[in-house]
Amino acid sequence: MFQKIEAKVLGVFMATEKGSFITEERAEVQVEFGGIPGDLHFGLTKKAGEREPMYEKGTEIFNRRQISIVSAEECAEVAQLLKIEEVRPEWLGANLIVEGIDDFTLLKEGSRIVFPSGAALLCEGVNHPCIHPGKVIQSQYPEKKIAGKFVKMAYDRRGIVCIVEKTGIIKKGDKAVIHSYEPFKGKVELSN
């Protein structure tokens, strides 16, 4: 079954500081095969790490994590679960934040996200939470003990990872049209 869903891009981001996954907001980003040029995760291939235990560490493998996307709804939900004011997409290392889709992380692998410029991303699956963003969030709320709790609270709320299927520009404010061949089980609401 083919389904179309719409979301709004609230922000676009890049991680440009060497050794840091924390992203910085931009007005727009150019996506190329391999991701966003200059971003920490840019490249058609990458070195296997802790997320790929089936390979020897450092083995060159295809980069399924060229772009990461989170939703405003899930960031707010994680913040509420952690009992803090906010969880910012930059702290998660996200390249895009969208709104209009509850349970965005449940978007099916293989779904395509198309932007007005013609740029298109292919969903490669869930971006599983790890302790590193938890530590960044902890640094913003030093009085709270939340670094370790982040992984549990962000499970199935951490967004998705994508590869670039078609190059182009993605801008803050863009409407993203998501094409999925499998039914989406989340709630969809697009504000104006």
In a domain, 16, yes or no: yes
Are the beta carbons of 97 and 158 closer than 8 angstroms? no
pLDDT tens, position by position, 37-55? 999 999 999 999 888 899 9
pLDDT at 56 over 70: yes
* Domain tally, the chain: 1
pLDDT at 4 over 70: yes
In a domain, 170, yes or no: yes
Query: In the prediction, which pLDDT does 130 show?
Result: 86
| Mean pLDDT confidence for 12-41 | 96
Query: In the prediction, which pLDDT does 185 show?
Result: 63
| Mean pLDDT confidence for 144-159 | 91
Tokens of 173: 């404010």
User: Which domain, by its residues, includes 147?
Assistant: 3-180
pLDDT at 174 over 90: yes
Report percent pLDDT > 90 for the chain. 81
Query: In the prediction, which pLDDT does 191 show?
Result: 47
Kindly report the CATH number assigned to the domain that includes residue 130: 2.40.33.20
- CA-based nearest residue to 180, from 119, 113, 81, 97: 113
